[in-house]
A and B are shown apart, each in its own frame.
Chain A
Amino acid sequence: MASHAREIAMDRRDAGKVVSIRNLVRHFTLKGVLDGIDLDIGRGEFVALLGRSGSGKSTLLRAIADLDREAKGSGTILAPRNLSVVFQDARLLPWKRVLDNVVLGLDAPDAQARGRRALAEVEMAGRERSWPYELSGGEQQRVALARCLVREPALLLADEPFGALDALTRIRMHALLRKLAAVHRPCVLLVTHDVDEAIELADRILVLDAGRIEADLAVAPYRATSAKHEELKLRLLSLLGVETAPQAGDHSKSAHAS
């Protein structure tokens, strides 16, 4: 069991903060994974967490979601009870039809109707009765998004949700996620290793390295011009240890940190 304190009580949290983490340390057997994380995420904020493989970005997300029971560590995590997780694989139960996957574990009497609405929002109306295996990877991930939406989470945790999708599907999913975030205004923490994805989607970008937050940048000031955009991208890439000489006409190229 994790030895760090985990607080869920709403009244103990600062107003306006959805997630509040203090001095979080986590380690698995030998290697330290999180080495003193302090992080506050405000209401409605869209935060991208960038980092190289092994930097601890998934570990941080899983710590907030309380998924790693075996982890040892210290520190405090304040997170809302109604959080939802989107995994890299859509993780639909193969023996449940799409709608049943969406409303899984939902007790409300209007669960079915809400599930249908959520599916319509992710542009999957009409596929309620499909089996998961009949869907493409992008469609499965949209159903997984609907499964989160229907729970109206205060916090959405997404662990490289588009990592397994092809480039074209990823563009469509980015647009969908942006639209959903604008409508529902949940607090989002998106783990990714794709710098372009982080800049495109997030209000705020964190760079994690060796279990510590190396940078915490607001994206808005860089959105003004494409030169500014490029400046942020290069800065993030250098933080991630990728050195690239500035090139003209490189804007469309996707850059991966790992």
Chain B
Amino acid sequence: MPIKRNKGERTMPAISLTVNQKTVHGEVEGRTLLVQFLRDNVGLTGTHIGCDTSQCGACVVTVDGKSVKSCTMLAVQANGADVLTIEGLSGPDGALHPMQAMFKEHHALQCGYCTPGMIMSAIDLVETHPQGLSEAQIRAGLEGNICRCTGYHNIVKAIAAAWPLMHGAPTAQAAE
């Protein structure tokens, strides 16, 4: 996408991307971050800005299936991409995604600020580990997500519980 530039004037790149299975068009400044675009232009405020320095992971969304920190990606870099945010997880009937359900079941949150990013990262983690996911792998996989309330224990439990649901195996709970 070559942009012509006159002195003192910048064109606004027009972008088009899929967000939660809907096509979204927008004109953005070059500097507009993906998280700002999602929150301010698309109105999806479930994706949070936490640290704004790519450390905390509250802003994690998936772009073409990969979890990324949307505070550290330009909106224009997502042109043509398929973006999924926390709002796009539940079914048409409002049914929770298994990861959301397990976060609820295991009370994997306290204030909830980090939760959208945690859930988006966790889904990517589970999807990329079809052979299984140990507790150590879950903890290492959450390196990019910081929670300042619960101490991670219930988050780890929720993710472990979501793995069999997402990979089609019965859980111990379901068998009870």
A-B interaction: no
A residues contacting B by CB (< 8 A) are: none
B residues contacting A by CB (< 8 A) are: none
